[in-house]
């Protein structure tokens, strides 16, 4: 069966090894399905581009154990090869525990672990490090080690001898080379659309695997899993299973069969691209048609759309262009005034505020639908438990949801202006706090949700879209002057 590629810590080379194997397999040995542990958006974009298939996140804390099993076996069994890239260090999970860690996922799925070690400054100490990871959790199988940052043949021989002393297989040794580095910024690796000569890079990754990995030992660890055996009457497709699990009435089940009836605009450009593939698949299964919308290109909202989704991304890096996109911002305000449902997460939230500072500290006017301004602040990172304070667009009082927060921005409130706080967030090492905004037609929060873990969110959004009036196509006229600028000044 497939293996899980892990490491002692972030920055060791997990993604490089996963990209190299995926590129090689796709080039010469058929299809490959890649998975990523945890709530990452950027690594999956790279892995999906190289493999030619959507990379699927495996996150028990966000989606639950049964989804984990169903997703892995369903999509993994449809390819010729399969691999899972871990997250952070092998045993790093929520807080100081291994909850949600790569080790937990490997145990739940019965996967052997390939440990990637950045060994550029090590020799004999490698044996102690690997022995510790091998023995830390009884029952977890360490299939072998791939070394990264090996400078010379002599260095490789030293490291190989160290691993042989503890009977640990050496599965490959990647060289130190600046061309193999993966560029990054404050939230992670650069997405594939921002990497120059991506195809050439893919060929280099494939050649790297061919030259420096022990493929005779590694390829048997990339076999696909078998299809999952499920109870009679239960859906095999995890998307269908998700929606059946969240259905409350026969009418809910009926709407699963519809398609292409309810258009919704999804911001999709360099500023907004943090979303899981399952989000679109769940919407499609509910009869919602996703229409790409590019605010950065100052596109009007698609004619006839009945709602808007603003996913996360990097709006702060494009704040000036977004501020200059008058037609897009005006249409967003017109949609809000018309009562179309608007769902915004993290970077999408920033577009709804009064003002956004770019990394140089310059302020730019945003859509002005919510009463805050945003500027760079301290890192907010981790899993959160969210308890809604009341009934909102897609949330209900008394529910408890699991999400993930990851940003470096802080908000200064200006006024409530008819909106209310969405929910209380709690997380390991963080004091509980009120967060987000909600109105009958707006859901806006820092919190990223994986809808596979809370499909009722998707269903409620679909129902709100079904009740909305289609957005009309209209040019910006003098009569729209009140909507052409934010209701509060950019400096508020």
Residue 171 confidence (pLDDT) above 70: yes
What is the tens place of the pLDDT at every residue in 111-141? 999 999 999 989 999 999 999 999 999 999 9
| pLDDT given for residue 253 in this prediction | 60
Q: How far apart are CA 308 and CA 328, in angstroms?
A: 12
| pLDDT given for residue 492 in this prediction | 29
Helix (H, G, I), strand (E, B) or coil at 361: coil
Average of pLDDT values for 475-485? 46
Residue 67 confidence (pLDDT) above 90: yes
Helix (H, G, I), strand (E, B) or coil at 330: helix
What is the tens place of the pLDDT at every residue in 229-269? 887 767 789 999 999 988 766 666 665 555 457 999 999 99
Residue 9 confidence (pLDDT) above 70: yes
| pLDDT given for residue 188 in this prediction | 57
Band (pLDDT 50/70/90 cuts) for residue 12 is very high
280: its two tokens: 């679109």
What is the tens place of the pLDDT at every residue in 305-362? 999 999 999 999 999 999 999 999 999 999 999 999 999 999 999 999 999 999 899 9
Q: Which residue is listed with tokens 């080039």? A: 27
Average confidence score pLDDT of the chain: 89
6: its two tokens: 């892990």
Q: How far apart are CA 25 and CA 478, in angstroms?
A: 58
Q: How far apart are CA 372 and CA 340, in angstroms?
A: 21
**Dihedral angle, C-alpha 73, 76, 81, 83, nearest 10 °:** -90
What is the tens place of the pLDDT at every residue in 21-65? 999 999 887 899 999 999 988 899 999 999 999 999 999 999 999
Band (pLDDT 50/70/90 cuts) for residue 479 is very low
Strand (E) or helix (H) holding 408:
strand 401-413
Q: Is the pTM of this model over 0.85?
A: yes
Between CA 147 and CA 57, with CA 55 as vertex, the angle to 5 degrees is 90
Q: How far apart are CA 72 and CA 75, in angstroms?
A: 6
Average of pLDDT values for 446-472? 95
Q: What are phi and psi of 293, to 5 degrees?
A: -135, 130
Q: How far apart are CA 100 and CA 360, in angstroms?
A: 36
Q: Annotated catalytic residue: which of 3, 55, 255, 346?
A: 346
Residue 346 appears among annotated catalytic residues = yes
Residue 193 confidence (pLDDT) above 70: no
307: its two tokens: 């709602």
Percentage with pLDDT > 70 across the chain: 88
Percentage with pLDDT > 90 across the chain: 75
């Amino acid at each position: 069966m497939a293996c899980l590629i892990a490491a002692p810590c972030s920055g060791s080379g997990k993604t490089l090894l996963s990209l190299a194997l995926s590129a090689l397999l796709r080039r010469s040995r058929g299809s490959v399905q890649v998975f990523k542990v945890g709530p990452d958006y950027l690594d999956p974009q790279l892995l999906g581009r190289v493999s030619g298939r959507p990379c699927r996140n495996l996150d028990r804390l966000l989606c639950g154990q049964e989804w984990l099993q169903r997703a892995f076996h369903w999509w993994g069994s449809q390819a010729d090869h399969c691999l899972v890239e871990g997250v952070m260090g092998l045993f790093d999970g929520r807080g100081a525990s291994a909850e949600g860690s790569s080790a937990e996922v490997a145990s739940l799925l019965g996967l052997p672990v390939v440990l990637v070690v950045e060994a550029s400054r090590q020799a004999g100490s490698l044996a102690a490090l690997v022995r510790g990871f091998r023995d830390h959790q009884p029952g977890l199988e360490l299939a072998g080690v791939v070394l990264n940052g090996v400078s010379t043949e002599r260095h490789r021989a030293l490291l190989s001898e160290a691993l042989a002393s503890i009977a640990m297989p050496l599965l490959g040794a990647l060289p130190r080379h600046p061309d193999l580095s993966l560029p990054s910024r404050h939230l992670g690796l650069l997405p594939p659309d921002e990497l120059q000569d991506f195809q050439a890079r893919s060929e280099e990754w494939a050649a790297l695997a061919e030259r420096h990995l022990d493929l005779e030992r590694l390829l048997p660890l990339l076999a696909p899993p078998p299809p999952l055996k499920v109870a009679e009457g239960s859906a095999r497709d995890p998307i269908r299973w998700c929606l059946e699990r969240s259905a409350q009435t026969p009418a809910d089940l009926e709407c699963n069969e519809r398609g292409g009836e309810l258009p919704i605009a999804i911001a999709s450009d360099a500023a907004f691209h943090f979303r899981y593939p399952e989000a679109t698949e769940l919407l499609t299964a509910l009869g919602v048609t996703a229409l790409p919308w590019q605010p950065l290109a100052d596109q009007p909202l698609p004619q006839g759309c009945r709602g808007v989704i603003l996913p996360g991304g990097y709006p702060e890096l494009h704040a000036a262009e977004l501020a200059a996109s008058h037609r897009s911002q005006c249409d967003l305000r017109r949609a809000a005034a018309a009562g179309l449902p608007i769902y915004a997460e993290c970077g999408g939230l920033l577009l709804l505020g009064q003002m956004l500072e770019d990394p140089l500290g310059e302020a730019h006017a945003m859509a002005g639908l919510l009463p805050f301004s945003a500027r760079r602040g301290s890192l907010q990172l981790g899993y959160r438990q969210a308890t809604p304070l009341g009934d909102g667009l897609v949330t209900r009082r008394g529910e408890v949801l699991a999400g993930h927060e990851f940003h470096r921005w802080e908000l200064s409130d200006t006024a409530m202006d008819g909106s209310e706080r969405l929910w209380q967030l709690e997380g390991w090492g963080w004091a509980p706090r009120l967060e987000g905004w909600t109105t009958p037609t707006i859901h806006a929060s820092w919190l990223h949700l994986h809808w596979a873990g809370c499909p009722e969110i998707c269903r409620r959004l679909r129902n709100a879209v079904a009740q909305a009036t289609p957005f009309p196509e209209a040019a910006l006229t003098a009569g729209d002057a009140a909507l052409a600028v934010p209701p509060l000044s950019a400096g508020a």
